[in-house]
Structure 1
């Protein structure tokens, strides 16, 4: 599969996805700020335990969801420019990408504040392999969120690209890598703003490997052309 590295479709997908992340970094930041009053405040009103100091958690969740929507719309729109000539009703890709990245942002944020060892804890400063047993639940949630985004995107791809079910485990593995990255960096990420910076810095890994599988899927196209190579 690595022979698709550097092909025309890989280059197009990778660079346009990176462009989407570049724009998404700005849009996601704006979404993070807007997510506090639009999502966080209503959550604080209806969820038990979100009053007083507990409201901070709801504000963090609202900010993460808002940032995820902004990032997902940006990345999904960028990828749509490629998919629109391949997949019918490809505009759905933007919606499912927004929802998918929203879930990923949420689970990564929960992982950062619940599974990453804080200074003074017994696991702080321990190597990543020593922390994984206590953080496997959070890792699984991030991996599942990647698989779910892949599943919803597969529903769009399946009618146009053969073997597109491989899109699901690909996204799961990529997000598993992201979860391990968060766990490895640990407290150095520095809170929610740092998480946003981590996601953008992680974008080349997502773009490169999703580009490889996309180029491979194009090669399996039911009606291949010379432009697929």
Structure 2
């Protein structure tokens, strides 16, 4: 196995695990009954997103430093966590907002498109601020990461949406979310792994 293949295998394994573990925070937060209404759950979910981002960032950077030892663990984790907060906040204020869902179709489509771009680009763009110091043409990571999250979230929605039904027990909702999250994590990790392998110096 070549060095690049070894890196790719480690990346997919560890990043899949990291995102799967990190996503448990939003899954559990979603399962917590919050009064007085759904809007009160937003801060809890944003905090859970912070945890998800930090865990994902830590698992990513522990693999990345095997090839790029100069990458800062602290900056990578903090940037990833901050980006996850942005992504979750935007998602909750648009796609998770009942008021937004009642907007006229043109306004909903326009704001939804902007929100989707922000969500998909946020993590890769934040990590670019650190990665650009260590690899040439690091901007490719932004596009690659966005593609990876498109694939991952697509898998999540394809699996979880038809399985989630009104009136289900909390444990079943959480179990479906966790299972779909694992598949999402693997898809995201595989795509980001392919992109990162191409960014790394050829040694």
What TM-score does the superposition give when structure 2 sets the normalisation length? 0.71
Alpha carbons 1:76, 1:93 under 8 Å: kept: yes
Which of 168, 171, 190 is the matching residue for 2:145? 171
* CA distance in structure 2 between the partners assigned to 1:69 and 1:171 by the alignment: 18
Matched position secondary structure for 1:7: helix
Report the equivalent of 1:158: 132
Kindly indicate whether residue 192 of structure 2 is the aligned counterpart of residue 210 of structure 1.
yes
Which of 68, 83, 95 is the matching residue for 1:100? 83
**What is the CA-CA distance between 1:205 and the residue it aligns to?**
1.4
Which of 44, 54, 74 is the matching residue for 2:55? 74
Matched position secondary structure for 2:95: helix
Alignment of 1:1-80 (within 5 A): 7-29=5-27, 32=29, 55-57=37-39, 59-80=40-61
Report the equivalent of 1:89: 72
* 1:126-179 deviations in Å (ceiling 9; x for gaps): xxxxx9995453243132122122111011111111121101112223334456
* CA distance in structure 2 between the partners assigned to 1:211 and 1:114 by the alignment: 36
The root-mean-square deviation of aligned C-alpha atoms, in Å, is 3.9
Which of 148, 158, 162 is the matching residue for 2:122? 148
Matched position secondary structure for 1:12: helix
Alpha carbons 1:112, 1:186 under 8 Å: kept: no
* CA distance in structure 2 between the partners assigned to 1:100 and 1:210 by the alignment: 16
Alpha carbons 1:154, 1:164 under 8 Å: kept: yes
Unpaired runs of at least 5, structure 1: 38-51, 122-130
With 92-101 and 102-111 compared, the bigger mean Cα shift is at: 102-111
Which structure has the larger Rg?
1
Cα 1:73–1:196 shift into 2, 3 Å: farther
Unpaired runs of at least 5, structure 2: none
Aligned residue pair count: 187
Cα 1:214–1:112 shift into 2, 3 Å: same
What TM-score does the superposition give when structure 1 sets the normalisation length? 0.64
